[in-house]
Amino acid sequence: MIKAKHLKKVYKTGELDLEVIKDFSLDISKGEFISLIGPSGSGKSTVLNMLGCLDTPTEGSLNINGEEITSLDKTKLANFRGLHIGFIFQSFNLIPVLSVYENIEYPLIMIQNLPEEQRKERVLNLLNEVGMLDQKDKFPEQISGGQKQRVAIARALVTNPAIVFADEPTANLDSKTANSVIELMQKIQKEHNTTFVFATHDEKIVSKVNRLISIVDGNITEDRKVLRGTSNE
């Protein structure tokens, strides 16, 4: 479902061109639970942002769900992202003036022209799924970090995206909260076969994914399938 071929990313910073990603190729199949790992500054976020259509590669080809992303203009790219991709950020990025309910509903209003009744059903289902139904009328400043990330997960999933990207989703959480957030994503991946792509060095995530992609100095240095027992995990 994702085919990235020879992606390159060069940031132009004044006089200097910074070649952050040199040659990145990767195929990701539906339902994978996969993480990019690598030291800080190695380019994990840069790759995630390109795969997640938040940023465009300088060179290379990126095909998602049969669509060649690199040939879309800005508006089409934003539409494509809204229809197919969910994003979860380290710092949650909830909208402070919207309630929990409204934060989750927001992508449906912005992107997908769903009638009100259907919107409501989807939002309530997801609130229930992430265990936040009883908090739906609160505002982001009134809930904990772990609860914020649950809301962000619901917001990322509300459009029924094919792929969810999560950039260091547990970095601002204590380890117990982090574990429960990871378990939630794992449950969603198993029940809905949603593809999750992480960028993280959190061992708690790394120990749960099915595949690890190591990035060092802008190149993939290792692509490792991790086989895990399916019982009792």
Let me know if 101 is exposed, middle or buried by CB neighbors in 10 A (0-12, 13-18, 19+): buried
Closest C-alpha among 146, 147, 129 to residue 138: 147
Give the one entry of Mg ion, ligand ADP, none that residue 13 binds, where binding means its C-beta sits below a cut-off of 5 to 8 angstroms depending on kind. Answer: ligand ADP
**Residues 6 or more apart whose Cβ sits within 8 Å of residue 73:** none
Nearest-angstrom CA–CA distance, 81 and 49: 11
Q: Which of 20, 78, 83, 133 binds ligand ADP (CB under 6 A)?
A: 20
Does residue 90 touch ligand ADP according to CB under 6 A?
A: no
- Which one among 2, 28, 42, 208 touches ligand ADP, defined by CB under 6 A? 42
Q: Which residue has the tokens 């952050």?
A: 20
Q: Which stretch binds ligand ADP (CB under 6 A): 42-50, 121-129, 130-138, 172-180?
A: 42-50
Regarding 75 and contact with ligand ADP (CB under 6 A), the answer is: no
Pick the binder of ligand ADP from 6, 11, 192, 222 (CB under 6 A).
11
- The answer to whether residue 40 forms part of the interface with ligand ADP (CB under 6 A) is yes
Of 162 and 212, which CB lies nearer to ligand ADP in the complex structure?
A: 212
